[in-house]
Amino acid sequence: MSTAALDPIVLEALGRMAKEGSIKASASMSKLIGQTTAVESFAVRRAMVEEIAQTVGKPEDQITAIVLDMSGDAFGSMLLIFPETSAKNIADLLQKRPLGSTHTLTDPDISALKETGNIIAGSFLAAISNFLDLNIIESVPRISSDMLKAVIDSVLASFLEQRLEEAFVFEIQFSMGTNEGMATQHVPEIKINTHFVLLLDSKSVDKIKGILKEHPWGERR
Amino acid sequence: MADTQIIHVQTADMQVGEQDQLLQSTGIGSCIVITLYDTQKKIGALAHAMVERPKNITPSPTPSLRYIEDAIDAMLVALKALGVQKQNLVAKLFGGAHMFKVFDSKTKGVGAQNIAAAHTKLQQEGITIVSNDTGGNVGRTVLFDLSTGTVKITTLV
């Protein structure tokens, strides 16, 4: 099977892994915020490195991005990108404030968002690790709130020496605060939009392609 | 200004222009934007490069406007084609920010490496840097007015 023929398999497989990860992440988020959280929509696409920002939004859109690096059996980075409104809504939910209270993210808000990034990215990573039987270690999260393109390009820059050409972009919408189940206070349902960008170095992509070539449905174990 | 045309310069791209045109590049983080301007002819160029050209990699990467050195070379070729002489050019630099502390473990971050690489390349070409707004930890957008050579910078903070 040629590399080109494997590409749709890689995309589909990563999509399935990420979807499973997002469902696990929503369950963890439910516990964290004390409100029902669900995955409303999910989409996956590939993007050339220079086109990632425009895949996500407008260059000067204010966003908050949480970044974790991967090491071990695969090397790369994961970016979790929230539009500013979603980031502030999450901060309100986590800090038990009325929605719309946050105008500027404070240090405790940033810590809470990092924890959110840790949960979501960790769930994705667990799904990928289990599916591919890889031991992938994640770094501590880092965060930046600024212009979309300025933030994304700054992460991409460190990959250019590795001749990275493409990335996988997952677009996920969570609904939070449906006031069901474990709800402790009334919170109107809100939609949290996020983009999850998976950047892998070329060796890691080749390794994953090799695994999927032999075990396209994850029956490696 | 009614007839002023704005030309958008994307990441890993370069554009040239002349009087009555504006060159704009948005969302500059650790990337470097270089402007070159001939004050007499009122012709200039703007490049938005991402990193310095990788060293110690075999084979050497093909030239790309992603790389600061290649972007400056491309600007000089394009300006020469418009009759601009290198000795009449002045440069300005923008960007090279440190958006995450993620790269603190390196001896210096990508932004700082980019600033240094741009300085080195322009020095090698004998082009004076007349001003710069680099470093820090904010994203920038720049608007280069080719009728005056001035550059307007905007940030979210």
Tell me how far apart the alpha carbons of residues A128 and A105 are, in angstroms, rounded to a whole number: 31
Contact: A151, B139; criterion CB under 8 Å? yes
Is there a contact between B138 and A153 if contact means CB atoms under 8 Å apart?
no
Residue for token pair 């440190």:
B98
**Distance between alpha carbon B6 and the CA centroid of its chain, in Å?**
17
Could you tell me if B55 lies within 8 Å of chain A, comparing CB atoms?
no
Residue (of A123, A127, A119, A135) closest to A66 by Cα position: A119
Contact A158 B26 (CB under 8 A): no
Nearest-CA distance from B75 to chain A in Å?
20
All residues of chain B having their beta carbon less than 8 Å from the beta carbon of residue A57 are none
Q: Is B141's Cβ below 8 Å from some Cβ in A?
A: yes
Closest CA to B47 of B2, B84, B5, B95: B95
* A188 band by pLDDT with thresholds 50, 70 and 90: low
Tell whether B50 lies on the interface with A, counting CB pairs under 8 A. Answer: yes
Compute the mean pLDDT over every residue in chain B, rounded to the nearest whole number.
Answer: 91
The 10 Å Cβ neighbour count of residue A177 is 23
Please provide the distance, in angstroms rounded to a whole number, between the alpha carbons at the two ends of chain B: 27
pLDDT band for A207, please (50, 70, 90 cuts): confident
More confident residue, A89 or B123: B123
- Nearest one of B5, B4, B74 to B34, comparing CA atoms: B74
* Residue A43 clears pLDDT 90, i.e. is over it: no
- What the block records as the tokens of B25 is 């590049």
Question: pLDDT: is A51 or B122 the higher one?
Answer: B122
Identify the CA nearest to A29 among candidates A143, A186, A174.
A174
Integer Cα distance of A95 and B23 in angstroms: 43
In this prediction, residue B107 has a pLDDT band, given cuts at 50, 70 and 90, of low
Cross-chain CB nearest to A150 (options B10, B27, B61) = B27
Tell whether the model's pLDDT for residue A4 goes beyond 50. no
Q: Give the predicted TM-score (pTM) of the model.
A: 0.85
Q: How many angstroms separate the CA atoms of B142 and B26, rounded?
A: 6
Chain A residues touching B141 at Cβ < 8 A: 59-60, 147
Give the per-residue pLDDT at B6: 95
Closest CA to A92 of A19, A34, A43: A34
> At residue A197, what is the residue type?
V
Residues from chain A that touch B28, judged by Cβ atoms under 8 A, are: 149-150, 153
In this predicted structure, what is the pLDDT of residue A3? 42
Which burial class, exposed, middle or buried, applies to A95 when counting CB atoms under 10 A from its CB (0-12, 13-18, 19+)? Answer: middle
Using a CB-CB cut-off of 8 Å, the residues of chain B touching A59 are 26-27, 141
Query: Does residue A6 surpass a pLDDT of 60?
Result: no
**What is the distance between the alpha carbons of residues A70 and B102, in angstroms, rounded to a whole number?**
12
Quote the strand ranges of B55-106, DSSP E. Answer: 89-95
How many whole angstroms from its chain centre is CA A66? 9
